Structure 1
Amino acid sequence: MYEEWASRLSGAVVWTNTPSTQPVVHPVLPDGCMDLLWSEGELMVAGPDTRAYAPADPSAPWSGIRFFPGTAPALLGVPAHELRNRRVQLADLWPTREVRRWSDRIAAAPHAASALETLALERAEPPEAALRLLVSALAAGRPVAETADELGFSTRQLYRRSLVAFGYGPKTLARILRLQRALALARSGVPYAETAARSGYADQAHLSRDVREFTGMTLGELVRRPYGSGSSAREDCLSGVPGRV
């Protein structure tokens, strides 16, 4: 069973997933987010995805904190592009002593997810205002070039900063956020052609190509599959972003 709640860390979500007796693998779709994970005594990091990720062991219990897009790299001390499409042990990124200290505190706590959140709060830095404005603008469907101008960035500056914060360039981030807008509409029952138009696609065929490229599935398959359970719930990381459908 999957559960989540708003974190005390700005824009983040804390979640737990306790598998059922017959666990089913639900791919994690690209969403602009990164997670810090705890499972069976191990701390891991889920980097930003550009393709669907299928968890290897759906039977394991997990706890995690899902960060607002662009905020995890400052806490982790690692540029997001180094973790793109990867799941890595935190021990590969941090000194062994620090990871052991965190692991001991989480293992001793009555609620692993809450302990994980507390530790993240101790290390987190205030989110950069410009990056939050960028995410909000792109989530609302604003053009990348127009948004860059409004934020005072050149195209090259915005690309470099996006690689560090999100793991890919702003155009890829915009496409991923557009995909999430479309999925939210389609899952709510909006016809696919209308979903494409309202999400900013040229037409339904354009939407279908993007869905296939980022997820390896069709829009119909995504709409029919169970939602809000298991690791697929990472798709909710932008639920609080202004302009999110």
Structure 2
Amino acid sequence: MKSHRADNDVMQGFHTRFSDHAVVRAVWCRSERLALSKRSQIEPDANCDFIFCFSEEGDIVSSIFAGFDTVAQPFEATPGNFTYVGIQLQPQAAASMIGADMKDCVNRRLALSELLRSRQSRIWDALERCSRSALAGPEQLSLAHLQPLFGQVRENPLLDALHKALKSRPFLDTIAEVADDQGFSIRTLERRSLQSTGLTPRELIRIYRFVRARKLYRPGISFAELALAGGFADQAHMSREFRRIVGRPPSRYFQRRCRPDSRQRLFDLIQ
């Protein structure tokens, strides 16, 4: 069904970051009232989320785990009044919390009822309580509801160093530098990255480059400048990566993104 814009559509929400928390990176909440269905896409951002969808009455409509993405994922919002709450995890936390092979979660949205299985009750209850606290607004948001889950998350200083280095310097040689700094081979580093995120360091670099270019873009900047600032080899390299990740070149991507009525502004809130 083709989507149309309606004058009475309402979208609002908040995004609270926890930069120093060992497990939770952010909690976001997005409420929307739509008269008609709308199609969009969720872009890769090197994060994974537990996402609850609540009805206007506060009932849970759906609950999923969104794994790490390497390409944009389609999303269709249905008519009605819904609120989405996402609990965004630190890179090393997801694998140890859900006990699943993260490679099986890449580019997928998995129902929590199927993913958690025998540990469903305890983890589900904690996630639901935290999500419901977010429904009341950012002032009522409490991570204390998740405290029972924190003990099972295994710290991994190597992966912390990897993600921080790749995010701040999205260049290929960073992989070798981080491996050398931590006293590991590149092979070991890649294995640890796959275990934690389902992605190789090179795949993470590609995502971080895309996210970096998206954040650095300003009207009037040349794409050659943007490519250099984003860590791409050149403008052609950036164009190829944008086509691979979001299905369009930078010129079309930013033209559409910067439209006043662009629905992508809604998803800027959670990425």
If the length of structure 1 is used for normalisation, what is the TM-score? 0.82
Q: Structure 1 residue 85 and structure 2 residue 107: aligned?
A: yes
Q: Structure 1 residue 44 and structure 2 residue 75: aligned?
A: no
Shift of 1:229: 3.9
Q: Percent identity?
A: 28
Residues 96 and 154 in structure 2, CA contact (< 8 A), matched pair in contact too = no
Correspondence for 1:239? none
Correspondence for 1:63? 85
With over 3 angstroms needed to count, the CA separation of the structure-2 counterparts of 1:102 and 1:187, relative to structure 1, is same
CA distance in 2, matches of 1:206, 1:108: 43
Which amino acid is 1:36 matched to? F
CA distance in 1, matches of 2:252, 2:142: 34
Number of residues of Structure 1 aligned to a counterpart in Structure 2: 235
Cα RMSD between the aligned structures?
2.8
Q: Structure 1 residue 12 and structure 2 residue 25: aligned?
A: yes
Match 2:34 to one of 9, 21, 44: 21
CA distance in 2, matches of 1:180, 1:145: 22
Residues 2 and 228 in structure 1, CA contact (< 8 A), matched pair in contact too = no
Q: Structure 1 residue 101 and structure 2 residue 120: aligned?
A: no
5+ residue gaps in structure 1? 236-245
CA distance in 1, matches of 2:180, 2:130: 44
Kindly report which structure 2 residues correspond to 1:1-245, keeping only aligned pairs within 5 A, or say none.
Answer: 1-7=12-18, 9-10=21-22, 12-22=25-35, 24-40=38-54, 41=60, 42-57=62-77, 59=79, 60-94=82-116, 95=118, 96-98=120-122, 101-102=125-126, 105=129, 111=135, 117-124=143-150, 125=153, 127-141=155-169, 142=171, 143=173, 144-187=175-218, 190-223=221-254, 224-225=256-257, 226=262, 229-235=265-271
Which amino acid is 2:99 matched to? G
Which amino acid is 1:133 matched to? A
SS at match of 1:213: helix
SS at match of 1:132: helix
Shift of 1:105: 4.0
SS at match of 2:52: strand
Greater strand share, 1 or 2? 2
With over 3 angstroms needed to count, the CA separation of the structure-2 counterparts of 1:127 and 1:161, relative to structure 1, is same
CA distance in 2, matches of 1:122, 1:148: 33
Q: Deviations over 1:28-47 (max 9, x none)?
A: 11111100111131331100
Larger radius of gyration: 2
Shift of 1:122: 2.9
Residues 85 and 134 in structure 2, CA contact (< 8 A), matched pair in contact too = no
With over 3 angstroms needed to count, the CA separation of the structure-2 counterparts of 1:112 and 1:78, relative to structure 1, is farther
CA distance in 2, matches of 1:169, 1:103: 28
Residues 32 and 48 in structure 1, CA contact (< 8 A), matched pair in contact too = yes
CA distance in 1, matches of 2:131, 2:177: 47
Residues 37 and 65 in structure 1, CA contact (< 8 A), matched pair in contact too = yes
CA distance in 1, matches of 2:69, 2:134: 31
Residues 213 and 230 in structure 2, CA contact (< 8 A), matched pair in contact too = yes
5+ residue gaps in structure 2? 1-11, 55-59
Residues 44 and 72 in structure 2, CA contact (< 8 A), matched pair in contact too = yes
Structure with more contact order per residue of length (Cα contacts < 8 Å, sep ≥ 6): 1
